[in-house]
A and B are shown apart, each in its own frame.
Chain A
Amino acid sequence: MTQHTVHKVDLAPQSARRTESFWSRVIRQRQLILMSFPMVLYVLLFAYGPIWGWLMAFQNYKPGFSITDQTWVGFDQFRFLFMDEGFTRVLRNTIAMSFISLILGFVTAIGLALLMNEIKKTGIKRLIQTISYLPHFLSWVIVTGLVSMALSTEGGIINVVLMKLHLIDKPILWLGEGKYFWGIVGLTNVWKEVGWNTIIYLAAIASVDPSLYEAAEVDGAGRFRKIWNVTLPGIRPVIVILLIMNVGWILNGGGFDIQYFLGNGQVLDWSETIDIFVLKYGLRIGNYSLGVAAGIFKTVVSIVLLYCANTIAKRLGEERLI
């Protein structure tokens, strides 16, 4: 075994490392730095660079004139957003749909992945996997069209089946009653994305050390015990990471397209999310600034929630995002 004396081996004890100077650490880790800084520069330029655009939130931005050439309105755009009498309702809808979609999404994706994993014949497993993510490739227009048809009072399959099972005696106008809308959003999201979402869990499951299963077998574990004690803990880091990330996205309202295509006047009080509101009163009527203001609001809330979720994960000893 040849000894390289140029590189200081990274196994120095903790105490020795702490007394090292900042710069010598930098030099020692120059490879890591080189391997990451180009990307950092990229993201600073392309993602952070355009943030000067947030100034638009404090103006009545009209395209065609430079950003310094606009009328400043201070917090008026924010005021329009928050003071609208529907705002609390819109906020409630957004959070509710996010939350429902999140829970349903996680449970179904993980559950399905675990069940898929139990299928031993690889050919069939692959076939099922491939078919299950087909809806991911359909556009939302198509998917919502199908949902609309399935929920129709005129021969829509849901009503037909429910009536045949004598659970209801006349068709329900699902898309006409606000209280069903959140559920429809959650379930549609599941239908479209559950197959796709299992991909990441299946990859994680595939990487669990097989010898752990063998050990569990020896301990007399049955199928479900193995899943509970080996598989789930094995993919827990992935689950936690995804959970934390999704908490940050809570103001995205469980999507945009379902609310846009299936929302109608009768369910408006339940279907309108922040994004839909901003579309109607911002972009559609030529007010670009409203969208920016809403975006800033969402970002601030996201970061706060993210920090909280991350800290909780840290306290619980779980995998952390940061």
Chain B
Amino acid sequence: MQTVRSKFKTEPFLFHTFNYLFMLFVVVVTLYPFLNTLAISFNSGIDTTRGGIYVWPREWTLKNYEAVFLSGRVFDAFWVSVARTVIGTVVSVFLTAMLAYTISRKEYIFRKPVTLIFVLTMYFSAGLIPSYFLIKDLNLLNTFLVYILFPGAGAGLISAFNMLVVRTYIRSLPESLIESAKIDGASDFKVFMSIILPLCTPVLATIALFTAVGQWNSWFDTFIFASSRQELSTLQYELMKMLSSTVNSNANPSLSSTAAKDTATMITPLSIRAAITIVASVPILFVYPFLQRHFVAGLQLGSVKE
């Protein structure tokens, strides 16, 4: 192995050059689809059908966005989305973390069965119709609570995936921390609240992000469980409604010739889809940078180790 000193001169330079070039490639490749969508959203629908729109609109228009914002109850729905995302995420992350803590304790008498019960949920699905009956019988249809208890039309309040990720993380924390706290007389709950939670910020931020995005993007649960109460409509659902109607009005073969002609518009499904995507994703994109700083918190860990 070369001596440490000589490695420092050329290697970092070469490596960083390669790395930055590679990252540039990654950025271009991942940024392009988004820029393209942005461009299409600002481009006239009919003009887009010609093709050839890459990262800049050719026939600038705000019509697509106008249609999106004037459609239905976009603004009210936005707040419903915010509510379910915030409440759903906070509740879910807290409960999941707590559960993860319990199964991370090797001495927990029910550790194996509890873990198994949750892990298995990732591999089966009972079906939409039986789930519907359950929600109906519990009087959860058309309530806000169904967004918290049954998000995405699945038992998503506690995600087994998230639980496992947190558990893995907790297991990597030094056991001595917990032991010394217990010697001091702390109960499990206290250990969880005052020691584990603070230390888990990176992983909690991670699963909070996953959960929040899931809640934010969710429309299927509204579709199946809450579609007849307009006050419960979420942003995604309103946007999907709009998209659906655009697709249908251009596509129904049972419409006679006259109707098909009269509904020709400047707005096409493609351009609407683009505008909808931007409107739907921009809010949530702001969440990540906010959570990102918590990922770095893990560096504090080293100082706690004895």
Contact = CB atoms under 8 A, between A and B. Distances in A.
B177 interface: no
A211 B305 contact: yes
B185 A4 contact: yes
A206 B19 contact: no
B158 A39 contact: yes
Contact of B26 (A112, A146, A225, A292): A112
A253 interface: no
A133 to B, nearest CB: 7
A316 interface: no
Nearest to A63: B129
A42 B158 contact: yes
Contacts of A63: 129
A167 B116 CA distance: 51
Interface stretch (A87-95, A175-183, A237-245, A261-269): A237-245
Nearest to B291: A199
Contacts of B192: 35
Interface in A203-250: 203-204, 206-211, 217, 220, 222-223, 225, 237-238, 241, 245, 248-249
Given A35-B188, A203-B203, A209 B301 contact: yes
B188 A32 contact: yes
B116 A7 contact: no
Given A35-B192, A42-B158, A138-B33, A288 B129 contact: yes
A306 B123 contact: yes
A256 interface: no
B129 A53 contact: yes
B66 interface: no
Interface in B54-109: 95-96, 98-99, 101-103, 105, 107-109
A29 B111 CA distance: 11
A143 B33 contact: yes
A251 B8 CA distance: 48
Contact of B133 (A50, A122, A139, A292): A50
Given A43-B117, A47-B121, A131-B30, A211 B205 contact: no
B206 A7 contact: no
A16 interface: no
Contacts of B202: 203, 206-207
Interface residues of B, number: 102
Contacts of A29: 107-109, 188
B185 A44 contact: no
Contact of B169 (A118, A134, A204, A211): A204
25 contacts: A7-B185, A31-B188, A36-B114, A39-B95, A42-B155, A43-B118, A43-B121, A43-B155, A45-B134, A47-B154, A50-B133, A116-B23, A119-B19, A134-B285, A137-B281, A194-B30, A207-B169, A217-B4, A222-B11, A223-B15, A225-B1, A237-B172, A245-B164, A291-B127, A306-B119
Identify the 6 closest CB pairs spanning chains A and B, nearest first.
A53-B130, A50-B126, A50-B130, A207-B298, A4-B185, A47-B155
Interface of B: 1-4, 7, 11-12, 15-16, 19-20, 22-23, 26-27, 29-31, 33-34, 36-37, 95-96, 98-99, 101-103, 105, 107-110, 112, 114-127, 129-131, 133-134, 149-150, 154-155, 157-158, 161, 164-165, 168-169, 171-172, 179, 182-185, 187-189, 192, 202-203, 205-206, 209, 213, 217, 270, 273-274, 277, 280-281, 284-285, 288-289, 292, 295-299, 301-302, 305
Given A43-B121, A132-B27, A321-B119, 11 more contacts: A10-B179, A32-B188, A130-B292, A134-B34, A135-B34, A142-B274, A194-B30, A199-B209, A203-B206, A203-B295, A245-B161
